[in-house]
Structure 1
Amino acid sequence: MAKATVKSATAKTAATRGGGKRKTGASQRVAATVDQQRRIQAQVAQADRARPKKTSAGAMQAGARLYPFPPFPKQHKAKPGSEARLDPAPMYDAPFYKGSGKLAGQVAIVTGGDSGIGRAVAVLFAREGADVAILHLDETQDAAETVEAVRAEGRKALVMMGDVRDPAFCRKAVAEVVERLGKLDILVNNAAFQVHSSNFEDLTEEHFDTTLKTNLNGYFNMAKAALEHLPQGGVILNTGSVTGLHGSKELIDYATTKGGIHAFTRSLAAHLIPRGIRVNAVAPGPVWTPLNPSDREAEDVSQFGSQVPMKRPAQPEEIAPAYVFLASRQCSSYITGEILPIIGGY
């Protein structure tokens, strides 16, 4: 019995020693890994110390011409906002963009087409060969300038004033476009209402209702009216927003509508596939248009766009080519139900 006990103890000792050897091997590997990580850490630290100190980077410029960046002049504009009174003036004419007949012979409606993204889209559509009807609220001076810009591209232009929240106006506008220009191929839903609210408790029912009915009902009303006339190969383009992707703590109502527009786009696209009509959306980040200076206080406007990685807002002419791409049957015939973000590097 004693011998058995001794043998058992000896076996345990041997096992312990064996286990100790295995542990020593694992410890060596761990130590080697730690040494390797510290060598890499030291190399990176040495490289960081040798590198010149970074200064604050300016706004990113990667376009055909230089674009304005914050700080802008402090300004606050009355709704619905006038492009003619905005400083600096939004850049919409894209002088280096060359048309190539991507929309030749087509007819488009652009809501909110008097200024901002809508104006830039109208001009590039015309440069690509489309006649354009511009719908606006009451910005008559801006709308007149957009009409002149479209006609300067050698295309026909119509302008109509009205409220897209009113289904009767939408039906009347579409019918007039078809009567005067002969048909309808493209609808761009772009009209919008936006006013920030710093405290949720201050967001009134009237404010919330106005945002929803302008941004959602307006798109619905125009799409309903247009679908009676859009042919196979027709296009509906909706203006979404980065706020519909990421949310916005001071634009709860607006972000809600833009998220709804994204869902509306995907759902309507699926619904219209059997009819050969494509539906897509562009979701811009900050863009220098009358919409934002009529939303924010003057101090905030001066820094508009500085929060994105590119450190500046887009100019309308930087956004409009995306609408051309999505409208063109040559460029995007296999694209529907998509949300295209153009958000400055977020």
Structure 2
Amino acid sequence: MAGDDSVITAYPNYAPKKFEQSLPGKDQDMEPLAEHTKVERWHRGEPRLEEYVGSGKLKEKKVIITGGDSGIGRTVAAFFAREGADVTINYLPEEEEDAQVTKKLVEDAGQKCLLFPGDLRSQETREKLIDAHLKEFQYLDILVNNASQQIQCKDLAEIDMDNVEDTFRTNIIQYIGLTKAALPHLKRGDSIICTTSVTAYKGSAGMLDYSATKGAINTFIRSLAMQVLPKGIRVTGVALQPASRSAEQMENWGVDSVPLWGRVGQPAELGESYVYLATSELSTGTIVHPNSGNFFVP
């Protein structure tokens, strides 16, 4: 029997309300809360929400995830843990409350979680992150470069150049510096996964500098993939929709602009993309696009 065509999602919180946070935002302050561990499964036209269950794909792997306290970083930490990985997450000190929630998700999956607060705009902090992870877990098998920032500005004439430089330091220079520190400890069969954005392909009038950093990340992914190919290390990426918006833009975000489901995606729906890239031995230089048919950025 065919499902009810009027039912397009099992997620109860698909329409965000009008709200705004100062940076860095806190996951616990969102209204409604995002979903990090339950995935939507369709059975003969009917949607169901189910907890993501791993199958040992990442058993005994040791992983670093930047920006792992909340958002997609939290989901990746939870999914990787459910696949058998121990995880180190990096985050800013003011995001400690969110980080503790992620740690509990990892530990509830039976895995270890090392918390490492610190600002990765400093190369010293990047190197300390690698050292702390290796001291705790001995090995590094997967690096997930995920932390970034977005600051909107609709007019280039009004853009703050300090913000521009800070966005480049945070989004791309940080990726390069942390990967440099991690690379000597990666082995054949290991992988680097970078979070990028659809804005690298379509641009964004309100996030010019952010979009430029994401284009740089795409080039970084493909260039580094070629450089480390002889070492058997894979480099891949996931292109996501940017999440920062004004209060007016947040209200009902995705209801009219996402063709497939008519709602903004949940972090939990993106986690399997990272699991795939962490386990697919044939993927390098690959960037996947889990965007629900929404190829344009408003």
Q: TM-score when scaled to structure 2?
A: 0.89
Query: Which one of 102, 106, 122 corresponds to residue 57 of structure 2?
Result: 102
| Aligned match of 2:13 | 68
CA–CA separation in structure 1 for the residues paired with 2:144 and 2:133: 14
Distance apart, 1:317 and its partner CA: 0.4
Q: Measure, in 1, the Cα distance between the counterparts of 2:286 and 2:226.
A: 11
Structure 2: tracts of 5 or more residues without a match: 39-49
For 2:8 and 2:200, the matched residues in 1 are separated by: 24
2:118 aligned with 1:173: no
Aligned partners of 1:204 and 1:142: how far apart in 2? 29
Q: Which runs of 5+ in 1 are unaligned?
A: 1-56, 287-291
> Which structure 1 residue ranges, 4+ long, deviate > 3 Å from structure 2?
57-60
Q: Paired residue for 1:317, among 249, 262, 268?
A: 268
1:300 pairs with 2:249:
yes
Q: Distance in 2 between matches of 1:113 and 1:250?
A: 26
Counterparts of residues 50-69 of structure 1 (less than 5 Å)? 60-61=8-9, 65-69=10-14
Identify the residue that residue 44 of structure 2 maps to in structure 1.
Answer: none
- Partners in 2 of 1:67 and 1:342 — Cα distance? 20
Aligned residue number for residue 276 of structure 1: 232
**In structure 2, what is the Cα distance between the partners aligned to 1:58 and 1:187?**
41
User: How many Å separate the matches in 2 of 1:327 and 1:344?
Assistant: 21
SS in 2 for 1:134: strand
* Displacement after TM superposition at 1:285 (Å): 2.4
Distance 2:110 2:161 in 1: 45
Is this contact kept in 1: 2:13–2:33, CA < 8 A? no
Write the letter of the residue equivalent to 1:125.
Answer: F
Question: Which has the larger Rg?
Answer: 1
How many residues are aligned here?
276
- How many percent identity over aligned positions? 39
Q: Summarize the Cα distance change of 1:58–1:86 in structure 2 as closer, same or farther, 3 Å threshold.
A: farther
Match of 1:337, SS state, is: coil
Q: What is the RMSD of the two structures over their aligned residues, measured on CA atoms?
A: 1.5
Distance 1:59 1:165, change over 3 A: farther
- Map 1:108-147; keep pairs closer than 5 Å: 108-137=63-92, 138-147=94-103
Q: How far is the alpha carbon of 1:58 from its aligned partner?
A: 7.3
Paired amino acid for 1:100: S
Q: How does 1:28-39 map to 2 (within 5 A)?
A: none
Indicate the residue corresponding to 1:34 in structure 2.
none
Bigger mean CA deviation after superposition, 154-163 or 89-98: 89-98
Structure showing the higher helix proportion among its residues? 1
More strand per residue: 2
What CA deviation, in whole Å up to 9, does each residue of 1:176-198 have, x standing for no partner?
10111111000000001101111
Cα shift at 1:59? 8.6
**Residue type at the aligned position of 1:184:** L
The match for 1:209 is: 165
1:256–1:59 CA distance, 2 compared to 1 (3 A): farther
